[in-house]
Structure formats: C-alpha cells, structure tokens
Amino acid sequence: MKKLFKIFLLLCLIGIAIVVWCSYIVEKSSRGKLFNNVNDIPCNDVGLLLGTNPIGRTGRPNIYYVHRIQAVVDLYKAGKIKVVLISGDNSHRSYNEPEYMKKDLVSKGIPADRIFLDYAGFRTFDSMIRAQKVFGQNSFTIISQEFHNQRALYICQHLGIDAVAFNAKNTISRYWRIRMYFREKLARTKAVLDILFGKKPHFLGDPIPITIPNDTIILKDTTTTKDTTNNMGLKDLFHRKRDKNEAVQITIPEESFDLIESTDPKGAKALIMRNASLKQHQKDTLLKQVFGFYCSINLDYVIVDENNWPTSEEFSIMQDYTESIDQALKVQPDHPNALFVARVTYNGVCQVVWMLNNPEIAIEYLDGIIAKGNQIREFDYSIEKDPEWKLIDFFLQDFPKSNT
C-alpha cells in the first residue's frame, strides 16, 4: 500500500513539474512581445481578435468579451492595425463568435469591409495556424487578455509567425482571476504538448486572401451642398462634394478641459465639460474651414433623481458611451475627423458637440447605430455647415471655472 502511495505521489509531483515547466516556457516565449499601452505597440496590418462568448456563465455580459472589443477599437482608431481578423467558434448554428464580434465592432465605427471572419477558430492553436495557412498572415497583432496572449505567442513562435500582442483589460473579480489562473495552467500544458506531438488543426481549407487597404489619411478642403431629404425626422443630411483635393496642413489643438457649473434657460442645474483649447483657436480661419461642420447629439439619461439629474452610475455609463462615440467620430487620433467641443448635462439630457471635417463619416456611423437599434442610450443628432463656428460661440465664451 505504501509503495502504491509513493508511486501515486511521484506521479503527482511529475505532473506538477510538467505543468510548471510548460507554464514557464510559455511565459518566457512572450517576453518583449506583450503591450498594455496603445502608443507603445508597433503597427501591423492585421489585428487577430480571439473569440469568446459575449455572455458569461452568470447570464451577464462577459467582461473578457467587452474588453477585447474595446481593445480592437482602440488599436484601429490609433492606426495600429488596418484590418481585423476575428477567429472564433461557430461549431453550432446557434452560436457564432465571429459574427457577434463583427456586429459590435461595426457598431463602434470599424467599417465592415475592414473585418474578416474565421469561423473555425475552435482553439487558440487553430486560430494561429489558420491565420498563417488559410489567411496567409505571417505577422500580426494578437488581441486578448494577457494570460491568453502569452499562450498564443508561444504557438506563434513555434509556427514561425512574427507576432506581438495587445493585452485587453482583465476582470477585477478575484474569483474569476483565480479560476482562470488554474484553467490557463492546464491550457498551457496542452499547448506545449500539441506543439511537441505535431497536433493538427480541426480544419484548414482553401486560402482566403485578406486585402490590406493602402490608407493615406489627409484632411481635404471641400465644399458641400445640403440635401433636403429628412431621415426618420432625426437630422438634415449633408453630402460632401469633392471640388478640391489639395492636402491641407493644419495644427490640431491638444485637448484640455474645463468643468463649468451653469444653469439652463429654465434655471435648472447644468454641467458643461468643454474643450478649452478651441477658445485659443477662434481666429484660426484654416482650422475652421477644415472642421466646418457642426455636429450635435442629444442623448436621454435613463436613471435620474427627482430633479431629473442622472445618478452617478448613470452619469458614468453616459460618459463611457459618449467617449466611445467621440473615438469613432475622430477615426484616428493623429488625423482626427472631429474636434470635440463640449458635453453638457441638463434636465435629463446629455448633449455632445463636435466640429467635423467630413460629415459623411459621422452620418454613416450614427445612422448605422440607429438602424441596428443597439444604442446604449437613445439619441438623435443634427449636422449643419458652420465654417465660422457660430453655433459653438456659447462654448467659446469666458466662463468662471468650477471649483468641483
């Protein structure tokens, strides 16, 4: 009996040693290839987004899914990737990770023609080798949580793929962190064994080419004409006519913010957050000419108190949502399509104002959200030609700064 126990104990120790060794070599293979900051990560044509279920085991939104989507948006808007390859599970008709993710990415402003889908990414190993063998990519940016990225980079190293990885935010739940820690130890062991024993993916198939766009983003000097068509009673459409195609060199003001307490016309409380840097550029005729379209979005707060003022949680939800819209309208931070002007909270409403370069980009994005009916908060919007910035005079005046 003692002999059997010793054999059992020895096998357990060997098993633990194998797990620890596998975890170590996986982690070691990822050193210098993991990035947490968008500004630090090198550019790649393709971002490989690893799929996961949008709904967690508790029936609530999967926080890993939410953070991965946002990570892709951040990378795309920063110009760090040009297209997205989504690799996920579509083993059943009722379950389709790539389509779920594509829908959410499009709703956040990434064009559908910049998104490619791999429906046979059943495992991380399959996703990596299919990106190489089926989609023809030998260099890309992996997007997932850090623990997952380390394993993916290990697989890439052994496949001869030149990859880096961007770490999406992790969960703050201690329970889920511990659970994923032990799960990942076993997953890493399996990944090492797959490589050692020459494991093959479930499917390969015919090559699927990925078209990489040649993006050259410049601001254009354009004229516009107004279309009297009204869509759903929400806005006036403007169509841009390209009469001139000369590149315009301008300096984009670096955003700085003032927080201002005021009152609306009825005397109710109002809170204004404005981009104070624009006040210093009121006489910049070229800047006004390039960003010559006024855009205003009105969103309704849902959870308000007896004074029609949003709760702190509701205010936070609205802030996150309007910031995601802001990023989508700007397209790229270094070459923005929009200048943020102000966000105003009053009487149960949040109004956000921008000056636009190309209104068509904003119209396509905002109409897409409305058409799909997936707004986090209901809104309507208007866009008007305003090359003199007269419609934002109110936000450029001198305000006493708030002490809050």
pLDDT tens per residue across span 270-310: 899 999 889 888 788 888 888 999 999 999 998 888 888 99
Would you say the C-alpha torsion 150, 152, 155, 159 has a positive or negative sign? negative
Q: Confidence band (pLDDT; 50, 70, 90) for 241?
A: very low
Domain boundaries, the chain: 10-196, 223-396
Q: Confidence band (pLDDT; 50, 70, 90) for 194?
A: confident
pLDDT of residue 219: 33
The answer on pLDDT for 388 being more than 80 is: yes
pLDDT of residue 165: 95
pLDDT tens per residue across span 378-387: 888 899 888 8
Cβ atoms of 121 and 127 within 8 Å: the answer is: yes
Q: Confidence band (pLDDT; 50, 70, 90) for 197?
A: confident
pLDDT tens per residue across span 85-142: 999 988 777 789 999 999 999 999 899 999 999 998 888 999 999 999 999 999 999 9
The whole-number average pLDDT for the span 244-273 is 74
How far apart are alpha carbons 329 and 295 in whole angstroms? 10
pLDDT of residue 400: 63
pLDDT of residue 177: 66
**Higher local confidence (pLDDT), 388 or 181:** 388
**Higher local confidence (pLDDT), 352 or 218:** 352
* Residue owning tokens 């829908």: 103
Rg (CA), the chain: 25
Tell me what the pLDDT averaged over the chain comes to.
82
pLDDT of residue 229: 30
How far apart are alpha carbons 203 and 198 in whole angstroms? 15
Q: Confidence band (pLDDT; 50, 70, 90) for 47?
A: very high
State the maximum Cα–Cα separation within the chain, in Å, rounded to a whole number: 91
The answer on pLDDT for 10 being more than 90 is: no
* Residue owning tokens 């009053």: 346
* Closest alpha carbon to 102 in 93, 92, 94, 112: 112
What contacts 97, CB < 8 A, 6 or more positions away? Answer: 51, 52, 53, 54, 86, 88, 89, 90, 121
Helix (H, G, I), strand (E, B) or coil at 257: strand
What contacts 236, CB < 8 A, 6 or more positions away? Answer: 226, 227, 228, 230, 382, 383, 384
How far apart are alpha carbons 238 and 228 in whole angstroms? 9
CATH of 10-196, one of 1.50.10, 3.40.50, 3.30.379, 1.10.3470: 3.40.50
The answer on pLDDT for 362 being more than 70 is: yes
Cβ atoms of 396 and 284 within 8 Å: the answer is: no
The torsion angle over the Cα atoms of residues 40, 76, 287 and 293, rounded to 10 degrees, is -160
